[in-house]
Amino acid sequence: MHEVSLCRQLAAAVARATGGREVETVYVDVGQLRQVVPAAMGFAWTFVVKGTALEDASLEMRTLPAELACRACGASSRLGSDLGFDCRACGSPETVLTSGEQFVLTAVDVRTPPPPTTVRPGARLTRGKEIAMGRFHRHDDGTVHVHEHDDEGHGHEQDEHGHDEHGHGEHGPGTHSHDGLPRTGSAELDQLIGDHSGYGTGRERIEILEDIYAENDRLAAANRRALDAAGVRAVNLMSSPGAGKTTLLARTLAALEGRLRVGVVEGDIETPLDAERLAGYGAKISLLNTGDGFGGECHLDAPMVATALRGLDLSSLDLVIIENVGNLVCPAEFDVGEHRKAMVFSITEGEDKPLKYPVMFRAVEAVVLNKMDLAPYLDFDRALFLRNLRAVNPDAVVIEASARTGAGVDAWIDWVTQDSRALDRITPHG
Ligand SMILES: Nc1nc2c(ncn2[C@@H]2O[C@H](COP(=O)(O)OP(=O)(O)OP(=O)(O)O)[C@@H](O)[C@H]2O)c(=O)[nH]1
Ligand SMILES: [Zn+2]
Ligand SMILES: [Zn+2]
Ligand SMILES: [Zn+2]
Ligand SMILES: [Zn+2]
């Protein structure tokens, strides 16, 4: 499940940011186009943190709507439920996404340790090591004092309980009560009424703003540098399960054998089956079983591909094709260091898929419309599919093919080899 993988990365980021402190709440902002289901996210979080130091940490997720800015008229608008990317104001397709793809760890609440020294309740200190939110905390004026706030947490930044109004800067020991009870004039009684007596731990909010994809993107850039240094072009090939990636790759390798030095990164959840189907064409295959130490991911990410690339001698290759895990959701979200993304779409999948999986269909430069040999037996509406595709991706190259019969595969081979340095060694087709 997509959410499990995201929660794993999130948990790692939280652990990095909090250094083993006890975490109460994790706050994330998730863009609408990340296609994260809040309930599934909550379930995945519970599953991922079970038995870890984050076991008791709860997850607060906020969904941010997708927003478009129009290059033609300047208007900004929200993506509608139909997920069309045209400007709502003027209808222009020249829009850029300004929000909706975030996945950001914004903050965590951690438990703060009890105050290091015994502090007389209500005592006014001038120095505090910790900006804490709880009984022992510091205010903007630098005052540190100890008193009880309601246990459900409060934000001094948001001024939820109105410190400004009651002026912590001015008051002396034991002269205020947060719960609105009248002062008795007796410091001792005020202490009791206001329950300023405890020295429990408090809560501190740590602002983080870490893009969960940032770590992946750094490694993707490193992969790309390694490929570039070796003069190798890389294509990330994606699709839903069974659309025909491996069948198309087998034909591709057969056609390029002896003409272009090809390496394949084969991403598969559990089995070596796809890799075995690609053996015998002279290509180097690096198998990545994502169930193998990577926790059964539903996509390839940059660290996995970095591992796989180490299994290929890049200096002896011209082109690397990465067969991603069959999945229309998250593979598109992870830059693995490729130069171009393409997808195989089987005409058995239904014309509505571009609208249901816009992130995938937007991410690619080429769509292979596969299993065209089945067209006579299906009621696939090609024009409707193309209309839906154009609504989310006006520029993608569409290649109609049958990986089974080989029809149209030449056009795909032209596309996939088009900027490989050894292109001049390829004899023209036909
Ligand atoms: N009729 C027809 N069947 C095809 C075509 N391409 C692939 N298939 C069949 O579709 C099934 C899945 O093909 P694969 O190549 O394994 O698909 P895949 O995308 O690699 O699948 P995963 O790696 O499991 O996601 C196989 O039975 C193929 O023989 C095609 O053009 N026409
Ligand atoms: Zn507009
Ligand atoms: Zn206070
Ligand atoms: Zn496959
Ligand atoms: Zn995934």
Per-residue pLDDT tens over the stretch 286-345: 988 766 555 566 889 898 899 999 999 999 999 999 999 999 988 998 999 999 999 999
pLDDT digits (tens, 9 = 90+) for 220-254: 999 999 999 999 999 999 999 999 999 999 999 99
Q: Which two tokens stand for residue 123?
A: 């005592």
Residue 356 Cα, ligand 1 centroid: separation in angstroms? 22
Look at the chain and report how many structural domains it folds into.
Answer: 1
Residue nearest to atom 9 of ligand 1 (CA): 244
Q: Which residues pair with 108 in a beta bridge?
A: 26, 206
**What residue owns the CA closest to ligand 1's atom 30?**
371
Residue 43, domain member (yes or no)? no
Q: Using CA atoms, how far apart are residues 148 and 175, in angstroms rounded to an integer?
A: 14
Annotated ligand binding at 171? The verdict is: no
The alpha carbon of 13 and the centre of ligand 2 are apart by a number of angstroms equal to 38
Res 165 pLDDT > 90: no
* Tokens 């069959």 sit on residue: 326
Q: What is the DSSP string of 108-129?
A: EEEEEPPPSS---TT--BS--S
Cα 392 from Cα 372, distance rounded (Å): 22
Of 236, 247, 368, the residue with max ligand 1 atoms within 8 A of its CB, to mutate for a pocket test, comes to 247
Closest CA to 339 of 266, 252, 232: 232
Pocket of ligand 1 (CB under 6 A): 239, 241-247, 274, 326, 370-371, 373-374, 402-404
| C-alpha 101 to ligand 1 mean position (Å) | 31
Nearest to 214 by CA among 103, 324, 131, 129: 103
- 386 occurs within a structural domain: yes
| 249 lies in some domain | yes
Q: How many CB atoms lie within 10 A of CB 236?
A: 27
Contacts of 15 (CB under 8 A, 6+ apart): 53, 54
Count of CB atoms situated within 10 Å of the CB of 191 = 18
Cα of 187 vs centre of ligand 3, distance in Å, is 17
User: How many angstroms separate the alpha carbon of residue 342 from the centre of ligand 4?
Assistant: 14
| Residue 331, helix vs strand vs coil | helix
Please state, as a whole number, how many other Cβ atoms lie within 10 Å of the Cβ of residue 186.
11
**Phi, psi values for residue 321, rounded to 5°:** -110, 130
What is the structure's pLDDT at 120?
54
Residue 258 pLDDT greater than 80, yes or no:
yes
Ligand 1 atom at shortest distance from the alpha carbon of 250: 15
Cβ-based burial of 164 (10 A; exposed 0-12, middle 13-18, buried ≥19) = exposed
Average pLDDT of the chain is 80
| Structure tokens that stand for 311 in this block | 């299994």
Q: Which atom of ligand 1 is nearest to the CA of 240?
A: 25
What CATH number does the domain containing 322 carry?
A: 3.40.50.300
Q: Is 298 annotated as a binding residue?
A: no
Query: What residues are neighbours of ligand 5 (ion), with CB under 5 Å?
Result: 2, 5, 298-299, 330
Q: Indicate if the pLDDT at residue 126 is higher than 90.
A: no
Give the CA-trace dihedral at 322, 299, 226, 275, to 10 degrees: -40
For residue 378, tell me if it sits in a domain: yes
CB 121 within 8 A of CB 92: no
Interior angle at CA 131, CA 127 and CA 132, nearest 5: 120
Domain limits at 237?
219-419
Give the number of residues written for the chain: 430
| Torsion angles phi and psi, residue 348, rounded to 5 | -80, -5
Contact in structure between 26 and 105 (CB atoms under 8 Å) = yes
CA 368 to chain centre: 26
Does the annotation flag 73 for ligand binding? yes
267 occurs within a structural domain: yes
Q: What's the ipTM?
A: 0.95
Distance 241 CA to ligand 1 centre (A): 8
pLDDT in tens, 342-382: 999 999 999 999 998 988 999 999 999 999 999 999 999 99
Nearest to 34 by CA among 426, 369, 299: 299
Domain-located, residue 106: no
Ligand 1, atom 7, lies closest to the CA of: 244
Helix (H) or strand (E) holding 346: strand 340-346
Residue 135 above 60 pLDDT? Answer: no
To 10 degrees, the CA torsion angle through 319, 324, 328, 330? -110
Q: Point out the ligand nearest to the CA of residue 76.
A: 2
Has 2 been labeled as part of a binding site?
Answer: yes
87 is in an annotated binding site: yes
Tell whether 115 is covered by a domain.
no
Give me ligand 4 centre to Cα 238, in Å.
9
Ligand nearest the Cα atom of residue 91: 2
Closest atom, ligand 1, to C-alpha of 326: 25
Taking a C-beta distance cutoff of 8 angstroms, is the pair 375, 259 a contact?
Answer: no
Q: Which residues surround ligand 2, an ion (CB under 5 A)?
A: 70, 72-73, 75, 87, 89-90, 92
Does residue 12 form part of some domain? no
